[in-house]
Amino acid sequence: MSEPQEEKIAAEKGLMICDREGNPTADSCASQGKLLKLLYGNPVGRASLKLLTQPIVSYLAGAALDHPLSTAAIPPFVLKKHIKMDDFAEETYRSFNAFFTRPIKPAARPIDRDPEALISPCDAKLFVVPVTEEARFTVKGAEYSTAAFLGCRKLAAAYAGGQCLIFRLTPDDYHRYCYPDNCEVGKTRCIKGILHTVNPVSAEHVKVYHTNTRTVTMLHTEHFGRVLQIEVGAMFVGRIVNHPHGKHMERGVEKGYFEFGGSTVVLMLEAGKAAIDPQILRNSENGAETIVRYGSRIGKALR
């Protein structure tokens, strides 16, 4: 059986996450998905979402995870999510959020220094979708307007015919993110909204990329033209934290981090600027996300 056929069968069976070779992998957050299906899949659950998606709820959840008593949740979380603590410096954490946003050892996430390489800005499950000439893109059956996502019709027009790279972070991922190339950093805009889960189960019911709080930063990159990097908040993510930055930043330098929860980083690429790794594209075409790591190569520049 060919690899594409295997990937398609895996997607049809609900195995929607693959490794870089196209092999289906277990979803470490499958239990979370079952709970979210109950929440989004019935009228009572959807009624409760009117409260749960409000930013104040995520803020209060974040405040609770800043409390010293929240450290009791760290050992079971490490065990359940199979987190490799050897990748991090040994220290005593003052709260669960301090643990969740801990920095990693640089050797554990080496940055690909090939100037032609497009790198992943974070640990995530990557899904790549084309942007149509009408500046629209489709994620898990839900169609989105790029203008509504970016909050600007004129800006959206520049990405017609390009690519939308969606990096979905789950609670077991390292939750810091970096610049994908050497760049001049433009303005960052915050688009206020509510905070639905970014888990694919929500796609049938809400357009999260139109409604969720997000930040949009223009990066004038050295090798990939004008790249938009967007951080999307999600349910129970208390804060998106972007660091102060200089005008010029190098690839792999940390841009910021998310506090507890699942969340998303999106890169919008102009047409003809990058060729994404063929296996990642095959996975996406078959409805599967691909596991990628902070700083790893996911594509190359087109000249």
Local structure of 265: helix, strand or coil: strand
Query: Catalytic annotation on 145?
Result: no
With CA atoms as reference, report the closest residue to 251 among 143, 128, 97, 114.
114
Residue 126 near residue 290, CB atoms below 8 Å: yes
Q: What is the Cα 52 distance to its own chain's centre?
A: 21
Rounded Cα distance, 39 and 20, in Å: 31
With CA atoms as reference, report the closest residue to 180 among 261, 276, 47, 281.
276
Q: What is the DSSP letter of 244?
A: P
Rounded Cα distance, 18 and 72, in Å: 32
Catalytic residue selected from 70, 95, 123, 277? 123
Residue 209 near residue 233, CB atoms below 8 Å: no
Catalytic residue selected from 58, 95, 120, 263? 263
Query: Catalytic annotation on 263?
Result: yes
Q: How far is CA 176 from CA 13, 25, 276, in A?
A: 31, 23, 22
Q: How far is CA 200 from CA 16, 140, 204, 206, 243, in A?
A: 10, 7, 8, 10, 29
Residue 235 near residue 60, CB atoms below 8 Å: no
Residue numbers annotated as active site: 123, 263
